Amino acid sequence: MLERIQQLAESIQEEVVAHRRWLHAHPELSFEEFETAAYIAQQLEKIGITPQPMATTGIVAQIRGMNPEKKTIALRADIDALPICQANQVPYKSTRKGLMHACGHDAHTACLLGAARILYQLRQGWEGTIKLIFQPGEERIPGGATMMIQEGVLQDPAPLYIIGQHVMPQLPVGKVGFRAGMYMASVDDLHIRVVGKGGHAAMPERLVDPVYMAAQLVVHLQQVVSRLAPPRIPTVLSIGRFIAEGATNIIPDEVILQGTFRTMDEDWRQQAHQKIVKLSTELINAMGGKCEIEIRKGYPCLYNDPPFTQRLQKVAAEYLGPENVVELDQWMAAEDFAYYAQQVPACFYRLGTGNVSKGIVSGVHTPTFDIDESALAIGSGLMSWLAINALDGEK
């Protein structure tokens, strides 16, 4: 079966590349992926698989093997793009100004379409049901995963396991990465309004300067990481936006701060929210101002089920060779795949897509992001191999 999957993956490489290039040229933002969903549905129907629309622009489908009631597992790909203006000049460059597949969701979708073709063609050679999940809105809180789950994507039939694949430009093409246990961080958005009393910059004694107060708060908030967080728990607090709309001689009445809080422990996450609010309000109040703070809760920590992930890691080594399967470090980025992992034992792994010799080195969420497209055959074939082995495993 392994060699057959590898052969099929190579034989459909051009088809999978064509999928990726069409998707890359036609990016759509979160929950606006109407053409993307139509394209996915059309391609599934060409294979012989019936698509089922759900969650605005999501698609779910099933491939039934021999004895389909025996066991179900799920494979997930995200489909949305980002509001980034593409800078690299490639034949498949985005045709939509200001929109770009800069996080590899086009590759994820193409690989899952490729895996669908392989698994459908081999459906007489494995037992169970494989559920295909093409999910919208990964890049935008509350995340399309929550909507898919609410609409029953993990029911009728309920999968025993779920697998997700994500590109990794830091990992050379030909390699994949796994990490059992806690892998990715939670994410929460910080929105802070510091209110004072503005006026002429030459008379600061008559003002309550919100710029000064906000600057102190940016520094003060780092206590959450350096002094309040348990040292064993990875924690990040970053302020990425500081809006003070005064002038060289004008102090504004208010300043807006926006940032992110991330960690890998849900209990500490809740405690930290309280500490951020208390620290911010008390500091600004002590300086004579007023602080309004909103913490918009985002995705939870992503936890890879250890026994399942370790088993798939060994299976991946069979497919690619043990030298091409690496252990991943924890990563402070966030993923709404974490919601699935809260419901079903999950494995979220990385597909190497970088190639220094070709100049493919840009990170995700950058205007020059690209992938080595030879990774697409690996992604399609490996996902198929993992799915079949997940069905064959114990439970």
Task: Judge whether 156 counts as a catalytic residue.
Answer: no
Enumerate the β-bridge partners of residue 58: 54
Longest dimension (CA), the chain: 82
pLDDT value of position 56: 85
Active-site residue among 80, 106, 254, 370? 80
d(CA 249, CA 267): 46
Instruction: Please give the structure tokens belonging to residue 65.
Output: 């093997």
Per-position DSSP letters for 246-277, written without gaps between them: -BTTEE-SEEEEEEEEEES-HHHHHHHHHHHH
In order of start, what are the domains of the chain with their CATH numbers? 2-184+301-392 (3.40.630.10), 188-297 (3.30.70.360)
Active-site residue among 28, 33, 78, 138? 138
Helical H runs in the chain? Answer: 2-11, 13-25, 34-47, 105-121, 144-150, 210-220, 223, 266-286, 306-320, 337-343, 375-392
pLDDT value of position 394: 57
pLDDT value of position 395: 45
Q: Is the dihedral of CA 385, 30, 335, 341 positive or negative?
A: negative
Task: Judge whether 80 counts as a catalytic residue.
Answer: yes
- In 3-state terms the chain splits into helix, strand, coil percentages (rounded to 5) of 40, 25, 35
Q: What is the full per-residue pLDDT of the chain (395 aa) written as tens digits? A: 999 999 999 999 999 999 999 999 999 999 999 999 999 999 999 999 999 999 889 999 999 999 999 999 999 999 999 999 999 999 999 999 999 999 999 999 999 999 999 999 999 999 999 999 999 999 999 999 999 999 999 999 999 999 999 999 999 999 999 999 999 999 999 999 999 999 999 999 999 999 999 999 999 999 999 999 999 999 999 999 999 999 999 999 999 999 999 999 999 999 999 999 999 999 999 999 999 999 999 999 999 999 999 999 999 999 999 999 999 999 999 999 999 999 999 999 999 999 999 999 999 999 999 999 999 999 999 999 999 999 987 54
